[in-house]
A and B are shown apart, each in its own frame.
Chain A
Amino acid sequence: MRPFECDALSAYTVLPWLAVLPETVEQVRAVLRLCHSQSVPVVTRGAGTGLSGGALPVAEGVLLSLAKFNRILEVDPANRLARVQPGVRNLAISEAAAPFGLYYAPDPSSQVACTIGGNVAENSGGVHCLKYGLTVHNVLQVTLLTIEGELLTLGSLGLDGPGYDLLALINGSEGLLGVIVEVVVKLLPVPETARTVLAAFDSIEAASEAVAGVISAALVPAGLEMMDNLTLRATEAFVHAGYPVEAAAVVLCEMDGMVEQVEAEIARARTVLAGHGAVEVRESRDEAERRKFWAGRKAAFPAIGRIAPDYYCIDGTIPRKRLAEVLGRIGELSERYGLAVGNVFHAGDGNLHPLILYDASHPGELERAEALGEEILVLCVEVGGTVTGEHGVGIEKLNPMCVQFGTAELRRFHALKAAFDAGGLLNPGKAVPTLARCAEFGRVHVHGGRLRHPELERF
């Protein structure tokens, strides 16, 4: 049972009562029917790379692993789609499509390991999502089993489906509404070429302004990422990508498409970045150099892992124009808590990933890291953003959800959940906080003197 006790948020562990690894849809249906009739909770598991505890088992429940659903059922180049089982790894889809000159665009950093079922459940994103959208924009059809064992098909093989857009609701539903047993994804033509510009800045503010500048110059890069000095130094020491380690921040900006399009866009991006005070602008001359530029970005998490015993990865989104201000305030919080914070993130989407460095063997440091993380998320909401851009709520962000949503909205979320799963058996306790929890959280954190949920009873 140990291998199932947690997902990638390993600070929380629970041993499931039972783990099952079915091989057919009929077996999944049988498990669900049995659990439904006996009121046993079910937690679905993909690859377990989730970062918010979304796939954390329930002690009296069944852990339903879809690891054996790992077949690519069909690649249809004429219709540019692939029909796959939920346990297929994200990268395996692009590998299967490559002989046809096609690929699957959403590329979470975990793409070698994470499954498409998990991607749909989390509405996962990645570097490419600025231009090509999130999972929700790249999934055509999902087949799922309800807790009662009913098989539902949502969407179609065309570009939209009949009825309400329940497919949108399934994307990002964190395993609360049904068990996904088949996914049809959209495939895109592999771009003719891709080139990357690396720009170094001597202040975070200048780098943030440059990011906004690129977007307002009518450019939609295939990737627009940023790394701060702490992260730069850590990754350079790890992968030796030749990064300018003196820089306060580096911006990576990638363009892809037809050669002529990419040339025109790269030229424009260079001008914009230089115009926003870049102290150095490099351009990848060939594929090897482009890969080198990205090597550090892709290895940033493990690189940080080498310089601190533990780190805690936060995930929130803010409006792009507030980047400089928010990064500044994260710096202040970092000092106040006495914990270093590294920043490496999807700047083009405003999707931040502050990495809080701590040492779990020092009593109280984990709790301090968590409290700091929560303050950062509250800050994201304060400036008009959200408590999660791509990692999901899971069990991790139940408290900050109480800051982002009011009682009326949370009630609708619970009602929607009940419309799919009246008994609340699928992944209970995740993604949507109970109103009692919000009342409790609101009592502890009174923001700006305003009590959240004054209408609720206090404990």
Chain B
Amino acid sequence: MRSLDDSENLAGRVAEACARGEPLRIQGGGSKDFYAGPCTGQPLSTRTHSGIVHYEPTELVLTARSGTPLTAIEAVLAESGQMLGFEPPHFGSDASWGGTVACGLSGPRRPWAGSLRDAVLGCRIVDGRGKVLSFGGQVMKNVAGFDVSRLMTGALGTLGLLLEISVKVLPKPECEITLSFECSHVESRERMIRWGGSGLPVTGLAWDGRLYLRLAGAEPAVSTAVRRIGGDRAEDAAGFWNGLREHAHDFFSGEADLWRLSLPPAADTGRLSGAWLIDWGGAQRWLRTDADPDEVFAAAQAAGGHARLFRTLNPQAPRCAPLAPALAALHRRVRAVFDPAGILNRGLYPEAA
């Protein structure tokens, strides 16, 4: 892996663009462009800004520059028997650290090990004026100042170009076993509620027509949990969880719109029709449907959550439900704090535009 600090150049490029009022499109390999959506501006690549700046296995903290390939980070952690607890999706072999944090997505382990946002401890950014700023830090507990680092997570680069992000990492579990069960949608819901809150060492709970339960921890604990639950050992468990995280699972191929619904795990989605795949013990649901977007937004909201159009062939389609007017106005003011000229990834975050 190349290691190079290119922050001065990146900051300079943003400062120039700001002076000219020209929009910039923060770019890597584009593995998640489909998610972020199209935006305007001159491309600005973070690819030259890479390398792990600091990794201390005894501290459980890693700091890396945004252009670092996600695979490189995972490989370095694995050498010390550690991992990113939030199991981020790569969506392509070129996924970068910056793009990962900017999109803020987490994999199947999220309900039990926390999200990417939960793991973030600090960051260095270039704001929309080209100023380099530091927030948070590298320690576990820190309540000094507003929590800007977590605010940056998932903001799709519209609040700043991420230069460096520090996260908390976790030890890899000693033992991992996946069980699978033949069961209906309705049955799976009941079991997900029961097992998801059971205190068993669950690290994955998903349904695609079969129910999958992943257990991880000390070997004797996992064995006992297996005995208590029963069920069959899943074949190619690693393939299943990877396919789920990376959307390589058959469910994700095809042309119909793919929706992500974030819901309370036991929620009912009413009459919303289409094909379902359920992850996060019920809290993250994938839906392929031709339903009208407003119908999906409304159903998710009625259930206490929210929906996002995740993959679509229609670039004009609305991806999120509009925010309440007061909240939308607040988003615009927050955006203006970091990027007053609105030059960073213009158009990507319609909520704040």
Contacts and interface: CB of A to CB of B under 8 A. Distances in A.
Contacts of B159: 164
A160 B115 contact: yes
Given A189-B198, A386-B137, A261 B147 contact: no
Contacts of A257: 199, 201, 217, 221
B263 A133 contact: no
A115 interface: no
B264 to A, nearest CB: 4
Contacts of B57: 216
B117 A220 contact: no
Interface stretch (B40-48, B234-242, B333-341): B333-341
B183 interface: no
B199 A158 contact: no
B305 A156 contact: yes
Interface stretch (B27-35, B89-97, B247-255, B318-326): B318-326
A137 B141 CA distance: 12
Contacts of A264: 218-221
A317 B264 contact: no
Interface in A95-109: 101-102
Given A165-B154, A389-B142, A390-B141, A258 B262 contact: no
A76 B197 CA distance: 12
A404 interface: yes
B115 A162 contact: no
A393 interface: yes
Contacts of B110: 159
B81 to A, nearest CB: 6
Given A156-B304, A191-B199, A321 B58 contact: yes
B193 A164 contact: no
B218 A260 contact: yes
B140 A350 contact: yes
Nearest to A102: B197
Which interface residue of A166, A259, A263 has the most chain B CB atoms within 10 A? A166
A291 to B, nearest CB: 20
B184 to A, nearest CB: 18
Given A384-B137, A416-B334, A162 B153 contact: no
A172 interface: yes
B6 interface: no
Contacts of A152: 324, 326-327, 330
Given A159-B280, A163-B323, A215 B60 contact: yes
A317 B201 contact: no
A80 B61 CA distance: 29
A174 B153 CA distance: 21
B337 A416 contact: yes
B214 interface: no
Contacts of B115: 159-160
A261 B201 contact: yes
A171 B145 CA distance: 11
Nearest to B152: A165
A168 interface: yes
A419 B139 contact: no
Contacts of B153: 165, 168
B150 A136 contact: yes
Contacts of A391: 143
Kindly name the residue among B111, B127, B304 whose own CB sees the greatest number of chain A CB atoms within 10 A. Answer: B304
Contacts, number: 258
Nearest to B57: A216
B352 A164 contact: yes
A319 B321 CA distance: 42
Interface in B103-138: 104, 110-111, 114-115, 117-118, 127, 131-135, 137-138
Residue among A160, A189, A260, A318 having the largest count of chain B Cβ atoms under 10 Å: A160
Contact of B305 (A80, A134, A158): A158
Contacts of B317: none
B76 to A, nearest CB: 16
A77 B198 CA distance: 11
Given A258-B224, A384-B137, A409 B170 contact: no
B58 A216 contact: yes
B139 A408 contact: no
Given A157-B263, A220-B170, A346 B141 contact: yes
Given A386-B139, A388-B144, A168 B60 contact: no
Nearest to B137: A386
B138, B263, B337 pick with most chain A CB within 10 angstroms: B337
Nearest to A214: B58
B305 to A, nearest CB: 4
Nearest to B323: A163
A161 interface: yes
A399 interface: no
A351 B140 contact: yes
B13 interface: no
Contacts of B53: none
B331 interface: yes
Contacts of A350: 139-141
B56 A319 contact: yes
A7 interface: no
Contact of A122 (B143, B197, B221): B143
Contacts of B267: 79, 157
B200 interface: yes
B75 interface: no
Nearest to A123: B143
A143 B26 CA distance: 33
A298 interface: no
Nearest to A422: B333
Given A163-B323, A409-B133, 7 more contacts: A163-B320, A164-B159, A164-B331, A257-B199, A317-B139, A321-B58, A350-B141
26 contacts: A79-B266, A102-B197, A146-B330, A159-B110, A159-B283, A161-B262, A165-B150, A168-B117, A169-B147, A188-B197, A191-B199, A215-B60, A220-B170, A257-B221, A258-B221, A260-B223, A261-B218, A318-B139, A320-B58, A321-B58, A386-B143, A389-B141, A391-B143, A393-B144, A408-B133, A432-B145
